[in-house]
Amino acid sequence: MAARSVVTGLVLTAAITVAIAGCGGGGAARTPQLSSLPLPPGARVMTNVRQCNGGSNSYCAIELVVQGPGFRSSRALVLAERDRLRAEGWVGASPTTGDQLANESPNNKLRVTYSTAFEDLKGADLGWIQRSWPTVSALDGTLFNRGVAMSVLLETGSR
């Protein structure tokens, strides 16, 4: 009788594991890689925060704060990012707000949304977008110190 309950427990555990994996429990496999994102020369990643959505179509995204000390303004950094992405074959996409830019990678494997530090902080403050506390704090600190920075959200694409 004890052997039967052990087998039943193992079968039940296996069934739950398969169900979770089938419902998107393998979100780590859908996390984009930072190395897949082209950045303009001289830009450097200041913060890298992984944010996950555990719903039925789970995925993870990467929130970045990218500094560009060699650029004259945050807007110049954002435009340099746009130009770099276009040169790499990324195509324009619809951003979440009118203050952002967005692009999709070739074959729609990745999607990136980016904006100046100020514009993303404004969007987060007004509730238009959501950013993690470490990202908001880094953007705020950059603005306070009059640094050149942009906020970037890298997600898996539709494929």
Residue carrying the six token digits 């296996």: 14
Q: How confident is the model at residue 159 (pLDDT cuts 50, 70, 90)?
A: low
pLDDT for 138 equals 95
Same-domain pairing of 151 and 133:
yes
Which pLDDT tens digit goes with each residue over 16-72?
Answer: 333 333 344 444 447 899 999 999 999 999 999 998 877 776 778 999 999 999 999
Same-domain pairing of 71 and 98:
yes
Which pLDDT tens digit goes with each residue over 73-90?
Answer: 999 999 999 999 999 999
Same-domain pairing of 36 and 22:
no
Residue 83's domain comprises 31-156
**Region of residue 148 (left: phi > 0; alpha: psi -120 to 50; beta: else):** beta
**How many whole angstroms separate alpha carbon 156 and alpha carbon 94?**
15
Q: How many domains does the chain have?
A: 2
Same-domain pairing of 22 and 49:
no
Same-domain pairing of 55 and 7:
no
Best CA proximity match to 118, nearest among 101, 132, 93, 136: 136
pLDDT for 49 equals 94
Q: Which helix (H) or strand (E) holds 64?
A: strand 59-67
pLDDT for 59 equals 78
pLDDT for 146 equals 93
Same-domain pairing of 81 and 8:
no
pLDDT for 158 equals 66
Whole-angstrom CA distances from 64 to 8, 14, 34, 67, 96 are: 46, 37, 9, 10, 16
On whether the pTM is more than 0.85, the answer is no
pLDDT for 58 equals 73
Which pLDDT tens digit goes with each residue over 95-144?
Answer: 999 999 999 999 889 999 999 999 999 999 999 999 999 999 999 999 99
Amino acid at 109: K
Contacts for 26 with CB less than 8 Å, ≥ 6 apart = none
